[in-house]
């Protein structure tokens, strides 16, 4: 895999991770703290990101980058107001 395609895959998975967690962070903020929904809204996007990373054949070296995207998305999603 060349550098350009690998970079595109990393940016794509990072963006998907961020946007998914932005949405679920918004939903998490609307639920009561430490409830079942609250717990699920935090953890539901995780399998999607794991499957995307495995299917794209990326090394585990990029896991901290995707964790950063997930946490940032959850925090910013919790601050959204519509």
pLDDT tens column, 47-61: 999 999 999 999 999
| pLDDT at res. 1 | 79
Contacts of 14 (CB under 8 A, 6+ apart): 65, 66, 69
As a whole number of Å, the CA-based R_g of the chain is 14
> How far is the C-alpha of 28 from the C-alpha of 50, rounded, in Å?
21
Q: How confident is the model at residue 82 (pLDDT cuts 50, 70, 90)?
A: confident
pTM over 0.85: yes
Domain ranges within the chain, ordered by starting residue: 3-79
Q: Among 7, 20, 2, 21, which residue's Cα sits nearest to residue 62?
A: 7
């Amino acid at each position: 895999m060349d550098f350009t395609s690998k970079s595109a895959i990393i940016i794509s998975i990072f963006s998907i991770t961020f946007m998914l967690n932005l949405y679920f962070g918004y939903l998490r903020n609307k639920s009561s703290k430490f409830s079942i929904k609250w717990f699920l809204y935090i953890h539901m996007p995780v399998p999607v990101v794991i499957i995307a990373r495995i299917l794209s054949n990326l090394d585990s070296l990029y896991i901290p980058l995707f964790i950063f995207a997930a946490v940032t998305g959850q925090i910013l999603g919790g601050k959204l107001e519509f």
